[in-house]
């Protein structure tokens, strides 16, 4: 049996739109996708756009791309599109599988999905957690989302908010670092354009080198830093009292805790 032949994207905002563009760039047939979104200005050529629900059901899976706070309000009107033999994929941060099953009780399976915006260029990690899929369907889901980068199953759903903080929210933290690196150089006298271009190119090159290396990033950093040299002096500042690590622990903790909060709020509303 073929799985996930037709995907209906319900709420195609920044993340859903990035995923759709990523699938099409990877060679997927636009006819494989439909979008239900009253606010969408347009969709790629060949993708059907629906402004109102319900949509006639010729799909075997849906991707929920609206805000998690909207789940309780929207779920009742989506029942006809999430019935038997339909798998519900969810981008809703903090919303657990049990909550999805309660909201869409007739669906054949429920899957949490967490990519990031690099899905647009096929470079996203995609974390999956599921309830109700058989072995063949798990393989098909992995193949579908693997078109957007590197997909993997998370068997312990309790870790999903932490994984989301790292891989889903992580690009925002990296962008903030790039901006801070450029801003620091500007504060010390470098022209803004030069600082921004150099910061972006530096992070891009370092990331590509780390991705292609057999060495862990910590060792790569040490290899850049000669004893008594300039790089070592800068690393000493970052490493002092584990300042950078401590900051990122607090960043990931706050992000993951927000996922827990969103999940509780959705349960309370339901």
**Domain assignment present for 228:** yes
For residues 157, 36, 78 and 81, what is the CA-based torsion angle, rounded to 10 degrees? Answer: -90
> Tell me, what CATH number does 38's domain have?
3.40.50.720
For residue 29, the tally of other CB atoms under 10 A from its CB is 10
The pLDDT value recorded for residue 13 is 92
- Stated pTM of the model: 0.89
Q: Report the candidate in 147, 145, 81 with the shortest Cα–Cα distance to residue 112.
A: 145
54 and 150 fall within a common domain: yes
**Domain assignment present for 268:** no
**Cα dist. 217→8, 202, 207, 208 in Å?**
39, 15, 9, 11
Instruction: Provide the β-strand partners of residue 127.
Output: 114, 152
The pLDDT value recorded for residue 32 is 96
**Class of residue 259 by CB neighbours under 10 A (exposed 0-12, middle 13-18, buried 19+):** buried
178 and 247 fall within a common domain: yes
Instruction: Give the structural domain span for 174.
Output: 170-259
The pLDDT value recorded for residue 270 is 58
For each of the chain's 270 residues, which pLDDT tens digit applies? Answer: 578 999 999 999 999 999 999 999 999 999 999 999 998 888 999 999 999 888 888 899 999 999 999 999 999 999 999 999 999 999 999 999 999 999 999 999 999 999 999 999 999 999 999 999 999 999 999 999 999 999 999 999 999 999 999 999 999 999 999 999 999 999 999 999 999 999 999 999 999 999 999 999 999 999 999 999 999 999 999 999 999 999 999 999 999 999 899 888 877 765
**Domain assignment present for 106:** yes
17 and 123 fall within a common domain: yes
Q: Quick check: 182 and 196 in contact, CB under 8 A?
A: yes
> Tell me, what CATH number does 203's domain have?
1.10.3730.10
DSSP labels, 199-212: HHHHHHHHHHHHHT
User: Can you tell me the distance from the alpha carbon of 135 to that of 139, in angstroms, rounded to the nearest whole number?
Assistant: 6
């Amino acid at each position: 049996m073929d799985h996930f032949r037709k995907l209906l994207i319900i709420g195609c905002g920044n993340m859903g739109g990035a995923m759709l563009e990523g699938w099409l760039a990877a060679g997927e047939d636009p006819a494989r996708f439909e979008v239900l979104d009253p606010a969408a200005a347009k969709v790629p050529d060949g993708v059907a756009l629906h402004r109102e629900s319900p949509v006639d059901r010729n799909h075997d899976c849906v991707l929920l791309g609206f805000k998690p706070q909207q789940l309780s309000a929207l779920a009742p009107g989506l029942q006809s599109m999430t019935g038997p033999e339909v798998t519900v994929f969810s981008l809703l941060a903090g919303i657990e599988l049990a909550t999805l099953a309660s909201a869409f009780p007739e669906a054949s399976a429920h899957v949490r999905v967490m990519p990031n915006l690099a899905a647009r260029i096929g470079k996203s990690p995609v974390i999956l957690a599921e309830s109700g899929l058989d072995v063949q369907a798990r393989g098909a889901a992995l193949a579908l989302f693997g078109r957007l980068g590197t997909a993997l199953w998370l068997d312990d759903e309790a870790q999903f908010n932490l994984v989301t903080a790292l891989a889903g929210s992580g690009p925002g933290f990296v962008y903030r670092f790039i901006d801070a690196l450029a801003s620091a150089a500007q504060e010390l006298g470098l022209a803004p354009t030069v600082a921004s271009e150099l910061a972006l190119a530096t992070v891009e090159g370092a990331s590509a080198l780390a991705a292609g290396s057999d060495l862990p990033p910590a060792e790569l950093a040490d290899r850049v830093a000669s004893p008594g040299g300039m790089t070592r002096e800068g690393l000493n500042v970052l490493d002092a009292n584990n300042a950078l690590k401590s900051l990122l622990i607090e960043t990931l903790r706050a992000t993951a805790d927000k996922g827990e909060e969103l999940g509780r709020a959705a349960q309370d509303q339901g």
